[in-house]
Amino acid sequence: MPIKASILCLFMSCLSIKATHAQIAAFGFKAGANYSQVSNLSTIILSEPYFLNYSIKETSRIGWHLGIYYDYRLENERLGFQSEIMFSTQGGNVEFNNYEKDFNYKMEFAYQYVNIVGLAKWFPWSGNFSLGAGPYLGINVATRNIKYKSWGTGKEEAFGTDLQQQQQLRNVLRGKNNFGLALDAAYDISDMVKVGGRWYWSATNTVETQANSYNFITAKNTNTVWELSVAVNFESLFE
């Protein structure tokens, strides 16, 4: 796939590039928390108002990420680069409430990704603070990881068990790989530790609708993720 190949080439080039100037480089471990949401899930699930007194909405998920990074910066320059491979839990939820019949359910799109990120970084004051931007590829390694739970007095046996519904949903709603933009801000507390915040936006659909009998439709949907992290420079541990 051309997109995957270009991202992998970008990552490898950042690892192997050789500059004629002195470099400030770091290789280490990174971990933190995610806050993510998938847009238009409610439209996919319920495209028309089949009920009179109800609500349906998308809600966010809290997750985590961890992985490795490599960054470098030309000494006495304001530009640098950073590459990462991260495992990340992200996705979104849908909550439905039928107030008239007291029937409610929650669907969790609990996806897991391997995110490959390449950032160009700018140090506006030639110090420890940096801003970054670049593409990322999110490889979904849990494309069928949907969880379903229902409750209320209006829940009928004809609907089947939650486990049966969950299996059917996994067959008709599939997670997709993401490709999009990452924006980053980071601060080096010391040579060993830095903290950062990041925003991901997927330009491609996160959920794909298969042929189904639920009246689910295909609609444009994007995954947005807010991320807070702490990174530790391995090299500084051995200096």
The token duo for 61 is 């998920």
Q: How much is the average pLDDT of 37-55?
A: 90
Measured CA to CA, the distance from residue 106 to residue 84 in angstroms comes to 33
Do the beta carbons of residue 82 and residue 70 sit within 8 Å? yes
Residue range(s) defining the domain that contains residue 124 = 2-17+28-237
Tally the domains of the chain: 1
Q: Considering the chain, what is the average pLDDT of its residues?
A: 88
How much of the chain, in percent, has pLDDT values that exceed 70?
A: 88
Beta-sheet pairing, 178-188 with 61-74 = unpaired
Residue 23 belongs to a domain: no
pLDDT tens digits, residue range 170-213?
Answer: 999 999 999 999 999 999 998 889 999 999 999 999 999 999 98
Determine, yes or no, domain membership for 22. Answer: no
84: nearest Cα among 102, 97, 71, 99:
71
What percent of the chain is predicted at pLDDT more than 90? 72
Tokens 């004809």 found at: 158
Q: At 237, is the pLDDT very low, low, confident or very high (cuts 50, 70, 90)?
A: low
**Mean pLDDT value of segment 87-114:** 96
Of 145, 57, 167, 146, nearest to 104 (Cα)? 57
Q: Is residue 57 part of a domain?
A: yes
**What pLDDT shows up at residue 82?**
94
What DSSP element (H or E) covers 219? none
Least confident range from 18-32, 51-65, 149-163: namely 18-32
Q: Is residue 191 included in any domain, yes or no?
A: yes
Place 20 in a pLDDT band, splitting at 50, 70 and 90: very low
Distance between CA atoms of residues 92 and 111, nearest Å: 8
Position 55 pLDDT exceeds 70: yes
Quickly tell me which residue has 């439209």 as its tokens: 43
CATH for 95: 2.40.160
Whether 172 is in a domain gets the answer: yes
For residues 159 and 165, the answer to whether their CB atoms sit within 8 Å is yes
| DSSP H stretches of helix in the chain | 2-16, 41-45, 162-172, 234-237
Whole-prediction pTM: 0.85
